[in-house]
């Protein structure tokens, strides 16, 4: 929750009330009032007591998120994921309160999604799955957010990777979403998805499918004039070709 501290300062001075007097009237400590007026976070109950004493409403003191702010936060998280700077996620999540993250469906999905990534980094796979399931549930049948399931299913596949069949199943679901939303899913996400599929098919020893998705990934890179993870794709492709050449043991 973002508080418009300038409104509080202005009203206090307008009423000719010192911080000490306001403290006596509200029961909120002078240090808390001072922190609030400096723009620091304080408890919501303290804010309510202060705004009531100064005849302010919640609409007066809370700075609402705008669509532009929403988009900036979302773009920041997208860039962090695409460039694998996952250590920066927590800092972005802390920029807003939980209430602000829950202020609209898309932000809420992003919040659960990126909390899941943090839990996975901590090897807390159960909590990661809970967060991803919540995010997928929040998207529901809303067509405007359907494309987000590509990333969510891929994240779920990553969490379940040790279980080849389950992890692979979610990668396949992610590809299906991507195929229907190629204009909305960033190409780097799709390339990572194809690589994850190749890894999964490698574990399942389905080498022909590795070659299929290697070709898809390379076509996508060529289309975007990019070499993103190209060396990795070519290494996986080469190993698959070598495995196909090996005599099969009957």
* Rounded CA separation 197/189 (Å): 12
* Structural domain spans, the chain: 2-63, 67-200
pLDDT value, residue 84: 82
pLDDT value, residue 86: 87
**Any bridge partners for residue 63, and if so which?**
2
Contact of 240 with 210, CB cutoff 8 Å: yes
pLDDT value, residue 71: 84
pLDDT, one tens digit for every residue, the chain (250 residues): 567 888 899 999 999 999 999 999 999 999 999 999 988 888 878 888 998 899 988 767 766 556 666 788 898 998 888 888 888 999 889 888 887 888 889 999 999 999 999 999 999 999 999 999 999 999 998 899 999 999 999 999 999 987 777 889 999 999 999 999 998 888 888 999 999 999 999 988 999 999 999 999 999 999 988 898 999 999 999 999 999 987 655 4
Residue 104: both structure tokens together: 């609209």
Question: Residue 41: which of 98, 90, 89 has the closest Cα?
Answer: 98
Q: How many Cβ atoms are within 10 Å of 64's Cβ, its own excluded?
A: 11
**Chain centroid, CA 211 distance in Å:** 31
Report pTM: 0.71
3-state secondary structure of 171: helix
Contact of 141 with 110, CB cutoff 8 Å: no
Q: Into which CATH architecture does domain 2-63 fall?
A: Orthogonal Bundle (1.10)
pLDDT value, residue 65: 57
pLDDT value, residue 48: 85
CATH class held by domain 67-200: mainly alpha
Contact of 8 with 37, CB cutoff 8 Å: yes
Residue 144: both structure tokens together: 């405007």
User: 30: part of which helix (H) or strand (E)?
Assistant: helix 30-37
Contact of 192 with 199, CB cutoff 8 Å: no
What pLDDT digit, counting tens, does each position of 10-45 carry?
999 999 999 999 999 999 999 999 999 988 888 878
pLDDT value, residue 24: 94
């Amino acid at each position: 929750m973002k508080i418009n501290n300038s409104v509080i300062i202005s009203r206090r001075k307008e009423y000719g009330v010192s911080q000490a007097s306001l403290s006596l009237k509200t029961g909120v400590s002078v240090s808390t009032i001072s922190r609030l007026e400096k723009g620091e976070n304080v408890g919501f109950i303290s804010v309510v007591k202060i705004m009531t004493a100064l005849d302010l409403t919640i609409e007066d003191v809370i700075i609402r998120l705008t669509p532009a702010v929403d988009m900036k936060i979302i773009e920041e998280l997208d860039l962090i994921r695409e460039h694998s700077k996952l250590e920066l996620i927590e800092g972005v999540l802390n920029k807003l309160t939980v209430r602000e993250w829950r202020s609209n469906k898309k932000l809420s999905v992003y919040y659960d999604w990126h909390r899941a990534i943090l839990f996975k980094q901590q090897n807390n796979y159960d909590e990661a799955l809970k967060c991803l399931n919540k995010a997928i549930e929040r998207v529901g049948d809303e067509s405007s957010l359907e494309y987000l399931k590509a990333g969510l299913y891929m994240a779920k596949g990553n969490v379940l990777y040790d279980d080849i069949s389950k992890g692979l199943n979610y990668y396949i679901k992610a590809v299906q979403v991507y195929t229907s939303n190629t204009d909305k899913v960033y190409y780097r996400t799709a390339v990572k998805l194809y690589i994850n599929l190749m890894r999964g098919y490698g574990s399942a020893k389905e080498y022909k499918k590795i070659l299929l998705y290697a070709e898809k990934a390379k076509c996508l890179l060529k289309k975007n004039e990019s070499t993103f993870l190209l060396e990795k794709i070519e290494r996986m492709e080469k190993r698959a070709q070598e495995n196909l050449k090996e005599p099969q043991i009957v």
